[in-house]
Amino acid sequence: MKKIALLTALLVGAWTLSAQQLFLGTVDYQFTMEGPNTDMVAFMMPEKMVVQYGKKGMKMYFVGGMMADMMGKIVLNGKTNQIFQLKDDEQAAYMMGPEDLDSQDSNTPDEVIKELEIIKIQGYLCQKYKTITYDGEGGESVQYIWTTEALRAPDVSTPELQAMAGMNLGANGVPGFPMKSVTYEPNSDMTITLLVTNLDFTKLKSKEFQVPKGYTVEEFVGETDE
């Protein structure tokens, strides 16, 4: 399911270096797009992406644009080992399984190259990496990712949830906490940039990663290729 795959592909994952500060709270990523066809899809594009971390949970959603309404919120609950899509306008939670998502391998780049550049984002030194993914037909997708080793996101409980969480800004195989990514879309000549503009260390209550009371629980039904 391509839309959900894109959303989960943007989820910021977890690393376990003991020297890193555990991040519990909310991260805002400014979302910008550049290219010749930007005006045609501007109404769909969000203003930002929000990622929230608890000790045993994650939540990710967009703010602004039609994409925010289509995607809803993706929630990973490590205590119950559940992944679900929340649609607040429908007062519903759609339970998801591995079949609803692209595999972890499909979001892991074929090459990761450490670049010379180091920049500061929100007060943290961030190392630049270049990732390359080949499509098997001679084409390639290039992404640049800046990460800091000073922060780490919490681990989630099961291998399945860890695989989901690892689909972070396309940064599988890149060490550190993603602070910026620049993705080049060769088919559309567009560039998508995600940049951390706010780090809120306010801890979230566990209910933020649960199905809200009164919501209907249903099975997620994705798009087919037919």
Least confident of 20-24, 170-174, 185-189, 194-198: 170-174
Q: Is the dihedral of CA 162, 163, 165, 169 positive or negative?
A: positive
Between 14 and 173, the higher pLDDT residue: 173
Least confident of 58-67, 76-85, 98-107, 112-121: 98-107
Tokens for 226?
């037919």
- Does this model's pTM top 0.85? My answer is no
Residues recorded for the chain: 226
What integer pLDDT is reported at residue 45 of this predicted model?
79
Strand pairing report for 73-77 and 57-63: antiparallel
Q: 197 pLDDT exceeds 90?
A: yes
Q: 210 pLDDT exceeds 70?
A: yes
Domains of the chain (ranges; CATH) run: 2-219 (2.50.20.10)
Distance CA 20, CA 91 (A): 38
Between 86 and 100, the higher pLDDT residue: 86
Distance CA 126, CA 145 (A): 9
What integer pLDDT is reported at residue 108 of this predicted model?
74
Q: Are 161 and 83 in contact (CB under 8 A)?
A: yes
Q: What is the pLDDT of residues 157-183, one digit of tens each?
A: 555 555 555 444 545 678 889 999 998
Q: 115 pLDDT exceeds 90?
A: yes
